Every structure is written in C-alpha cells, then in structure tokens.
Structure 1
Amino acid sequence: MEHQTENIFGIRAIIEAINSGSTISKIYLQKELKGPLFSELHSLVKSNGIATSMVPVEKLDRLSKHNNHQGAVAQISPIAFFDLETLIEKTVAEGKTPLFLLLDQLSDVRNFGAIIRTAECTGVNGIVIQKSGSAPVNAETIKTSAGAAFKVPICKVDHLKDALFVLQASEIKTVAATEKTEDSIFDVNFNQPIAIIMGSEHRGVNPSILKMVDYKAKLPLLGEIDSLNVSVACGAFLYETVRQRML
C-alpha cells in the first residue's frame, strides 16, 4: 500500500493545523514573505520547533498544485511520533536490552528511509531525530523504508543533547559513529543497553555531541575512499550489534 504525505496550504489553514495538534513534518515558506498573519505563523512554528525551509514561489506552486497557498505549504506527517522517555520505559518493562538509534540531522530522505528499514530488520527499539534540520518523514521516506516507518517507533526531540541526557540517565550507553577516533567498532561492547549515534551526510556527528557520548567508534576502511554512505555505515553498526547479541 502506498502512503502519501498530505500537503495543506494557506497560512490560516496551517495555523489551525498546528493549533489542533496535527503532526507536521515540515513547512515551506515563501522567501521574503511579510505581514501580520505570516508573523503569527512564524512565531507558532518557532515555538513548536517545526522544521521550515524558505523557498521560491515556484516550489510552493508545485507543492500546492497552483492553488492559493498564500506563501506557505505544510506537510502533514503520515506517522505519529513517540515520547522517548515513555518508549525507554516500555522497552525495559518488556525485558528487552535497549537498542536505540539517534540521527544527528540526517538530511536525505532516501538515506533516512534506508536506515529505518535496516533498523526494523535489526530490532531497533526506537529512532530519535531532532525537530529541526532533520529529513522529514514523507511519502518518499516511507517508500524507501519499505513500510518500516510504520513499524519502528520514531521520536522527535528539540535537541539531540536532550535525548542523550535521557538515555544516559536511563543507564543506556551511547556510542558515536565517527572517524575522529582510534577505537574500532569491534572494540565496543554492544551487548548492553546502547544507543548508536549516526551523523549527517556532510558533517558527521556534531562535535558537541561527540563530547557527550560514552564511546566513539569507526569502521575499518581498506580502500582509497575515506568514508561510507551513512545508511551503509549504520547498517554495519547495527549488524555488529546483532552479531554480538547472538553470541
């Protein structure tokens, strides 16, 4: 079954959608748009931590199929998001060894979808993303995930640091995938409550996040290219976790 992301357009309609509690993935706003109604929407978006993009009017025309968008189009998420603390409590209560995945502002929806698919196959208990700067959960994400986006709980947080504090307070160790370490993935004990942090496609894991984690680990690279696609690297980390837990 194909699931489509619903687009709504018009500033007032989007304001009403936010106030009614609709889960909005992203809002596209026309560049240099002004006015009191736009200011109201902008304040509401900021206070709710909704991801936005300033775009030319031509993109809004395409998204709204040339309806009267008033300079704003919003994507309603096709999934509901979970509360991280509640999800951790549920995982522990079910007697599972927690395995969480944090994505540090991953921006490509196809990478995101591929990671969700691998996460479902490897028993990840939840994926954590930041409200701003992260790839949206849209129709392309769901298609790439082969529907796994409906099976793996996804949590949204204001800041990834908040999630790290919550996880560490719950005695879940955190490991960042980064080349900025001498420690190998094979030196980390994944057979314990753990959360794996994957960085963005271009920047990797944020330095401020690297300072907070319990472990840093890298994959051995034997060729001339110095990095892997993030979804491939994520798969390697998750399957090393599976391997260790099956021993």
Structure 2
Amino acid sequence: MKNENIIYGLRAVIEAINANQPINKIFIQKGLKGELHKELESSARKNGISLSYVPIEKLNRFTRNNHQGVVAQISPVEFHNFEELVEKVLSKEEHPLFLLLDGVSDVRNFGAIIRTAECSGVHGIIIPKNGAAPITEDTVKTSAGAAFNVPIAKVDHLKDAVFYLQSSGIVITGATEKAENDIYEVDFNQPTAIIMGSEEKGISPSTLSSIDHQAKLPLMGKIGSLNVSVACGVFLYEVVRQRSR
C-alpha cells in the first residue's frame, strides 16, 4: 500500500468517511478503545466500509507517522452514484449493458473483469458495498487502466439494484450452472444486465430468484466451471456477437 493511497489518524479517517471518500478498507489497531474509536466503527459500518483489526506492527509498516491506531486504504477510483449512473446511461443508450458482480472478491479477477467489460462496451459495473473485491493498485494494473474508463457504482444490497434495474426496463440474466438454458438461447438485443457470482458460492439464492433469466455455459470437459473472469468474458462477448449482427 503506497503512502499516497492511505490516510491515517482517527479524526482524519472519520472526516474522510463523512466526506464520502472512496475508502476500500480501514485497518484498526487491536484493543483500541475510546469515543472516537466507537464513532469511527459506527460510521464505517453505516457506510459499508470493511474493517480489519490488526497488530500495531502492521500499521507501523503502512506509515512511520502517528497513525493513532488507524489507517485507511483509499480507492484510486471514484465510485458513481448508482441511480444517477443508471439514469444517465438510459438517457443516452437504446440498449444499455450493465454488469453486476455478486461476491467476486479476488482483486485480480475483478481487474480482469473490468478490462473485459471496458472492451465489450459495458456502460456500468455494479458491486455491493460489502463482500466485493476492493479496487487496489493490483486491480487497476490487472484491468490495464480500464478501471478509470468504466463507471463503477457501489450499492448497499445487490438485490435492490436488481429491482431498480428491472423497474427501469432492463432485463437481468444471471450466469449459473444451475440454469436449464445455455447462454445462446438468451436474447441480448434489449436493455440488459448480466450478473456474475463468486467462484465459490455463485449468485446468492435470494438474488438468483429475483432475476429474469438464468443461463449457463456449455462445458465439454470434466471440470464443472470456468474462472469467473473467463466466464464473464464469454457472456459479455455473446452480447457483442448478438448486437453486431
């Protein structure tokens, strides 16, 4: 974590939260107590910011300055307001394309997905505030800089984002091996959002039950699934294929 990507000190981090700075994670010294500490924890949880309790030695490696037991990692990318992003895209695009990520937690997979999303014309990526991979230097590097070109929005609950998109006339397709139909049976020549789940758990059951279509990739080998970034690329380029005909 480079120094330009961190802020430190109890009051400084609290002010950064209140100013809606794009904070990926806050590292807090184990055993830290006090009213400011309680205020920091409360504000972080209210804003869906991940907290990690660590020994003071780890904080000392982040900075030699007086960190007061608190160091925050700042995202190199500014996040967009979800509803404003959707309305802006809908006002400009006849067939918008959104990508939702449910539980994708590996920063390199996330970076690879962002890169493919940018290349395939995705108009916005939507992730939950909790449980999603942070945007770090590794994410940006793996995305080949695409993280600066594709709007990314964070939401409190991905299921609420699904309902909002559906109410805006966008059809949601979820990638899951549990689907009866494969990807080539889905019509992507309409306003579309694709949702990808984590490699471990897939799309959460409550979200999966609320979407419009489920689709799977045909697999010819013995392994039961693809890497999520590879599967995402196949889905996005099937959209490109259909829309370019």
Regarding TM over 0.5, the answer is yes
Within a 5 Å distance, the mapping from 1:1-247 to structure 2 comes to 6-62=5-61, 64-247=62-245
Q: CA deviation at 1:82?
A: 1.2
Determine if contact 1:125/1:153 at 8 Å carries over to the other structure: yes
Instruction: Report the 3-state secondary structure (helix = DSSP H, G, I; strand = E; otherwise coil) of the residue aligned with 1:101.
Output: strand
Out of 176-185 and 80-89, give the one that drifted further.
80-89
CA deviation string 1:115-140 (max 9, x = no partner):
00000000000000111111111111
SS of the residue corresponding to residue 14 of structure 1 reads helix
Secondary structure at 2:122's aligned position in 1? Answer: coil
Once structures 1 and 2 are overlaid, which stretch shifts more, 69-78 or 137-146?
A: 69-78
Q: Distance in 1 between matches of 2:231 and 2:147?
A: 19
Alpha-carbon contact 1:5-1:77 (below 8 Å) kept? no
| Cα 1:4/1:71, change in 2 over 3 Å | closer
Q: What runs of 5+ residues in structure 1 fail to find an aligned partner? A: none
Q: Distance in 2 between matches of 1:98 and 1:18?
A: 32
Give the C-alpha shift of residue 32 in structure 1: 4.1
Q: In the aligned structure 1, how far is the partner of 2:205 from the partner of 2:216?
A: 15
Deviation at 1:212, TM superposition (A): 0.5
Amino acid at match of 1:110: R
Query: What CA deviation, in whole Å up to 9, does each residue of 1:56-113 have, x standing for no partner?
Result: 4443333x23443333211112221112222222222223311000001211110010
Kept in 2, the 8 Å contact 1:9–1:70? The answer is yes
**Higher deviation after alignment, 76-85 or 178-187:** 76-85
Relative to 1, partners in 2 of residues 1:159 and 1:5: Cα closer, same or farther, differing over 3 Å?
farther
Kindly report the root-mean-square deviation, in angstroms, between the aligned alpha carbons of the 2 structures.
Answer: 1.7
- Which secondary structure state, in structure 1, belongs to the residue aligned with residue 90 of structure 2? helix
- Structure 1: distance between partners of 2:4 and 2:98: 26
Worse overlay, 117-126 or 9-18: 9-18
- Residues 3 and 63 of structure 2 are in contact (CA less than 8 Å); yes or no, is this contact kept in structure 1? no
Question: Do the aligned partners of residues 48 and 138 (structure 1) sit closer, same or farther apart at CA in structure 2, a change above 3 Å counting?
Answer: same
Residue 143 to residue 164, structure 1, CA distance change in 2 (3 Å) = same
Counterpart amino acid of residue 172 in structure 2: T
Matched to 1:89, the amino acid is E
Relative to structure 1, the CA distance from residue 189 to residue 118 in structure 2 (aligned partners, 3 Å threshold; closer, same or farther) is same
Contact 1:201-1:230 at 8 Å conserved across structures: yes
Q: Deviations over 1:200-246 (max 9, x none)?
A: 13111111111101011111111111111100000000001100111
Report the Cα distance in structure 2 between the residues aligned to 1:212 and 1:4, rounded to whole angstroms. 42
Aligned equivalents of 2:106, 2:55: Cα separation in 1 = 20
- Secondary structure class of the residue paired with 2:26: strand
Cα deviations across residues 19-40 of structure 1 (Å, max 9, x unaligned)? 2332212212234433322111
8 Å CA contact retained: 1:174, 1:213: yes
How far the C-alpha of 1:167 sits from its partner, in A, is: 0.3
Mapped partners of 2:28, 2:177: distance in 1: 36
Q: Distance in 2 between matches of 1:220 and 1:54?
A: 43
Q: 1:4 offset after TM fit, Å?
A: 8.3
Letter in 2 for 1:221: L
For 2:53 and 2:219, the matched residues in 1 are separated by 38
Q: Which amino acid aligns with 2:90?
A: V
Question: Number of aligned pairs?
Answer: 244
For the Cα contact (< 8 Å) 1:176–1:213, is it kept in 2?
A: yes
